[in-house]
Structures are given as C-alpha cells and as structure tokens.
Amino acid sequence: MRLAGPKLPPGRSLLRAAATGAICLSALVVCVMGLQASERNHGLSAFGELDYGPDFKHFDYVNPNAPVGGRLTMIGTAGRITFDSFNNFIIKGDAAQGLGLLYDSLMTRAWDEPDAVYGLVAHSAEVSDDGKSATFFLRPEAKFADGSQITADDVVFTLKTLRKKGHPQYRLAFRDIVKVEALDPQTVRYEFKGQSLRDLPLNVATLPILPKAWYATRPFEKTSLEPPLGSGPYQIAKFRQGTFVTYKRREGYWGWGLPVNVGRYNFDELRYEYFKDRVADLEALKSGEFDLREEFTSRDWATAYDVPPVRSGQLVKTELADHLPSGTQGFFLNLRRKKFQDIRVRKALDLIFDFEWTRKNIFYGAYERTVSYFENSDMKAVGAPSAEELALLEPYQKQLPTNVFEETYTPPVSDGSGQDRRNLRAAVKLLKEAGFQSKSGRMVNNNGEQLSIEYLIFSPGFERVIAPYAKTLKRVGIDASIRRVDPAQYERRMKSFDFDIIVQRYVLRTTPGAELRNYWGSAAADLAGSFNLSGIKDPVVDALIEKVLEAKSRKELVTATRALDRVLRSGHYWVSHWYNKAHRMAFWNKFAWPEQRPKFNRGVIETWWFDADKAAKLKAN
C-alpha cells in the first residue's frame, strides 16, 4: 500500500512519473519494504500513484459550473426488475437500485484513475510503514441527513455490524482486519494482519458509513422498506415497491463544497423504473415514459431504434467507450453437482456451444468472444507464460495440468454452421471418456441415466441464445432444458446455488483485490450468496489470488492476474460468453455533459446535467 508523497502544487501532480519509475527521493521519501514513510495524505492509491495534488479544486472530468436541477429517469440495470428492500447490505431480499447515493464513505473514487480515492468524510489518512494499520481523520462538519454528526463510532459500528450481520461477502472481504477502534470522535484506526494488505485501506475507505444511533432501534439484519438514514447527496423521496424509486438531491447536504463533489450529482431527482421484461421497457423509452436506457440486446440495438425520434435526433443513440475489464460473463457450471465434476464433461459443453453461429444469426455481428476472466484488460493471459508468470506457477507444477504451461486455453472456434461436426465429434469423444455412452440417441452413464442439464433464467431474453444451444446438446444425447422462474425465486436459487447452469456477469475492478476471494476462492464456494457460482475449490487458485493481493506494483499485479487467469481457464468452470467494448446508450436529447469523460465510469449520474434549453426544444417539437 502506498500513499501520495510530499505536498505538491495544486491540481495534477508529478507523482505518477516518480512512482512508475520506482524513484525514491531520499530527502523526502523513505522506502521501507516497498512502502513510503507514514504520513497524513489527502488520498490513497494501491501503488502510490495519485494524479491530483492536495489542493485540487475538482476532478478533471466534471463541469464545476454545471447547473443543478431537472430529473433523470432510468430503467434499472439488467437483471434488476423488482425490489422489496432498502437494505442492500444483507443477503435477504431484493434491494432497490441507487441506494449507494444515500451514503458517504471516508474517501471516494476518482474515476479517471485505476484505484485512487480522495477524502470525503475523512479529510486525510495515514497508513503505517509496514501496512499493518490505517488511521483516518474525519471532518467535524460531516453530518447525517438528520443533522447528527458522523463520528468514528459510526465507522466502527459499520464494520462490526457488516461482519456480524451483513452479507457473508463482508466477512470474507474483511477477514484480515483484526481491530477497528475510535481513538476520538474524529479519528478511527484499523489494524490488519497477514501479507495481503495492499487494498485493505482502500476497501475500508470506500465502505458506506452507517448511523449507529439510527440502527439502535431497528433490526439491521431484516429487509425493510423504511427509507434509511443516510449522509450522502441524495435521499429517498417516493417509491412504490417493485415499480419505481425516486431519489431527491439534498440541498442541505454537508459535502457539496468539497473538491471531490464539485460538479457532481447535478440532477435534482433520480428515478429508477422497474419493468418485467426488456421489451416493455424499450417501448416505454420510445414513448417517452423515461429518459435513458442502456441497451444490452444486440438485435434491439440493430433493429428496434429505427423510429422517427431517433432519426430526428430527439432520441439520441450513442456508444460510450468502456475502458474497464469487460467482466466475467458466461454459463456458469455448478460443480457442486456431480455431473459437472468431471472436467471432460465441462470441456464438451464448451465445444458444443457455437459462438460463431450465435454471433452471426442472433447478435447481428456484434460482440467479441470472451476468452479470459480479465477480458478487455492488460491482466488477460495471452500465449505462453512469461518468465515472471512461470515463477508463480512452477511451485504448483505437480498440482496443475500441463496445458497451463503451454499456450493459454481459448474457447473452440466453429465453422459457424450451428452444427460443426468436428467440434461435436470431439465433444462426444470427451463424454465417452468420462464414462457416458450413446444409446438410442441418449447419452447415458453406466447406470443407464441420461446426462441432463437445466439452464436457470428469469427473463425471456436469453431463451433465444440458449434454445439453439440446447437443441445441439440434444443432438449429442444430452437432455437440455430451460427453466424460467420469477426474479425472487431466481435470486433465492442463485444465492443458495440451487441450479445446474446459470447466466451471470461480474465486472472486475481495474485493480482487483479481496473481492477475488469471493469470486473464485475456496472459502466462498459454500458461502451462501457468494459470487463463486461454480463452486471452485482449488488451493492453487487460492494461492494465486493472494499473489494478486500481495502485489507491490502494477507490473506484479498484471503478472499475478495473468497466472491466475491461466489456471482458471484450464479448469473449464464456465462456457464463456461475449463482450462489447462500449456502453450502448439511448436517451432523450435534454442532457449535457463535460467534454472529458471519466475513463472508468459511464459518468451519467455523477457528471451529466439537465439542459433546460434542449428540454424546451424537445418539448416544443
């Protein structure tokens, strides 16, 4: 964990050049075990690279003079079509979207840097030379929405409550925090253990701060539709369960004048609308029922927007470049089910999925095939392992398949016919090697039981992708079916791992950290609600995750993630999907935005604003 160096001129600093060049300025910086000397700083970064100096006025990607007002109405993001709770910190219930807008944290992200955070509730922080502790110094003016002061006791309460009563992922993410204490009302100190310390100060710095006094009379571990007490820029104004939720900008919010907030959160109201399917919400957008929608269906993007408002420019259709890792999306195979424990069965399912046919016939030529768990980033493994990667992998050579040390695995490429005979023959061969045999068109085991798989979904959108896949699976004798359930049941079954195959997507951070344990670590495999959907239990994966967390430089991080990527891909835990390098956005032409976009965020809620002139013109037309 590194901090910013000595005090620098306002605005952008030269620290990045010094840090990436591994320069130690002996008069100013003492390098101890790869860590700079302990001192108070206005921001934190995993590798000591802060682009903004201590006297910066605002982020470069905002308009500091943006007008405030208007409303932005959005469709809930993909996969969230209902809600029954305003508690997004527990495993129970379906939480509403936008709840993060209610809470402040000690520090907040800069979306034009990979992992930097700057002071919000805390004006500064200090990390010890050995990385074993972090101390945050709170602003006395920081307040909850009811006017009560945010204190170190609230910060302590938050961590202890989330670890004891919150979603199980918090216990996993913060397992290396051994102590948190309030040294005084404005000072809180965390103590850490182990070697994977780089990201812990950042993780606790960005944790929402919960009001201790408010929860003293309310059960934290239960779902509730009582609007919670927050401290952030918005508060819940109106809602109807499962239909909509509206957030109102707080005029009396304590933090509007802070550099990290100047030019941000310019809408007076933010409203999330919930629809039961994508067809209905698309038609609602075109009829003007809401303002903005991100399109996730290539067919609709190619064909459904050929309407007069788009042609006239009233309804804008555009693509925003996506510089984040594209995410881990695919058909996740549940290894907790015996039928998927043989890697040859998993390989066969990969061979049978014809992405080239799907891309041509369903996706209108859009999308690229996802081959890596770190797709669209420099953390993706390519070709044969480098010398640095081999140094991490060779200690586990006896535990790893030989192909990990060769060209990295990539999904099979078909002839695009939808029934590539070569791939199907290879799949059948693997199934027979796994103990199955074809009898009367059925792939059966030694007990005469047919291999059957079920795809769990909640929306009809994926049926058009899965149905051709299932048809091909049936051709080789596998009984493949699709089970569509309501969203609430889907959530329950996903959290309890009650499925054969499920579709999911997780977006990784630009600097991956402790969340990797929740995605692929053995400890998360049987932890209800974890993101380890496949149930991966591999000590080598666990060890490489720790190498990622222990990385002291961006170069070490990239090496470790590439090694981890090779091992995960060799395990065939999923049938990977596809990705797009841009966000496809459609919105009514009544908004404006800064010339410079934040590199690692869409920036819509944080940096756009309502343009009254555009809105008037739109209304007149």
Measured CA to CA, the distance from residue 104 to residue 143 in angstroms comes to 10
> Binning pLDDT at 50, 70 and 90, where does residue 3 land?
very low
* pLDDT higher than threshold 90 for residue 24: no
Decide if pLDDT at 19 tops 90.
no
Domains 2-56+82-215 and 238-246+267-322+583-620 in one fold: yes
Work out the average pLDDT over 553-576: 97
Inter-axis angle of helices 421-433 and 343-352, to 10 degrees? 170
Report the DSSP beta bridge partners of residue 574.
332
pLDDT at position 25 over 50: no
Task: Evaluate the CA torsion angle 398, 336, 460, 293 in order and state its sign.
Answer: negative
Q: Are residues 108 and 120 in contact, defined by beta-carbon separation less than 8 angstroms?
A: yes
Three-state DSSP string of 312-329 = HCCEEEEEEECCCCCCEE
185 φ/ψ angles, rounded to the nearest 5 degrees: -55, -25
Contact 97, 75 (CB under 8 A): no
355-367 as b/e: b if 16+ CB within 10 A: bbbbbeebbeeeb
- Cβ neighbours of residue 522 closer than 8 Å, sequence gap 6 or more: 536, 537, 538, 539, 541, 542
Closest among 374, 380, 295 to 327, alpha carbons compared: 374
Tens of pLDDT, residues 495-508: 999 999 999 988 88
Q: Is the pTM of this model over 0.85?
A: no
In whole angstroms, how large is the CA radius of gyration of the chain?
25
How many Cβ atoms are within 10 Å of 391's Cβ, its own excluded? 12
* pLDDT, position 540: 98
Query: Could you tell me which residue, 280 or 60, shows the higher pLDDT?
Result: 60
Q: What is the pLDDT of residue 80?
A: 57
202 versus 8: the higher-pLDDT residue is 202
The answer as to CATH 3.40.190.10 being correct for domain 2-56+82-215 is yes
Q: Where is average pLDDT lowest: 7-16, 162-171, 580-589?
A: 7-16
Q: Over 70: is that where the pLDDT of 308 sits?
A: yes
Note whether 13 and 42 are within 8 A (CB): no
Q: Residue 405: CB partners within 8 Å, gap ≥ 6?
A: 384, 385, 390, 393, 397
Residue type, 344: R
Classified by CATH at the fold level, domain 328-409+484-579 comes out as Dipeptide-binding Protein; domain 3 (3.10.105)
For range 106-110, the mean pLDDT: 97
Q: What is the pLDDT of residue 507?
A: 81
Contacts from 401-406 at CB under 8 Å and sequence distance 24+? 401/570, 403/570, 404/566, 404/567, 404/570
Average pLDDT over residues 82-102: 93
Q: What is the pLDDT of residues 345-393, one digit of tens each?
A: 999 999 999 999 999 999 988 889 999 999 999 999 999 999 999 999 9
User: Among the listed ranges 28-32, 200-204, 490-494, 575-579, which one has the minimum average pLDDT value?
Assistant: 28-32
What residues contact residue 510 under an 8 Å CB cut-off, 6+ apart?
Answer: 114, 115, 324, 325, 377, 600
Judge contact between 200 and 176, C-beta under 8 A.
yes
Higher pLDDT, 297 or 205: 205
The residue ranges of every structural domain in the chain are 2-56+82-215, 238-246+267-322+583-620, 328-409+484-579
- The values of phi and psi at residue 197, to 5°, are -105, -10
Mean pLDDT of the chain: 91
Which 3 state secondary structure label does DSSP give 344?
A: helix
CB 521 within 8 A of CB 172: yes
For 320-334, how does the pLDDT look when each residue is reduced to its tens digit (9 = 90+)? 988 888 878 999 999
Q: Which CATH architecture has domain 238-246+267-322+583-620?
A: 3-Layer(aba) Sandwich (3.40)
**pLDDT given for residue 205 in this prediction:** 97
Confidence of residue 15 (pLDDT cuts 50, 70, 90): very low
Identify the sign of the CA torsion 494, 495, 500, 506. Answer: positive
pLDDT in tens, 162-187: 999 999 889 888 999 999 999 999 99
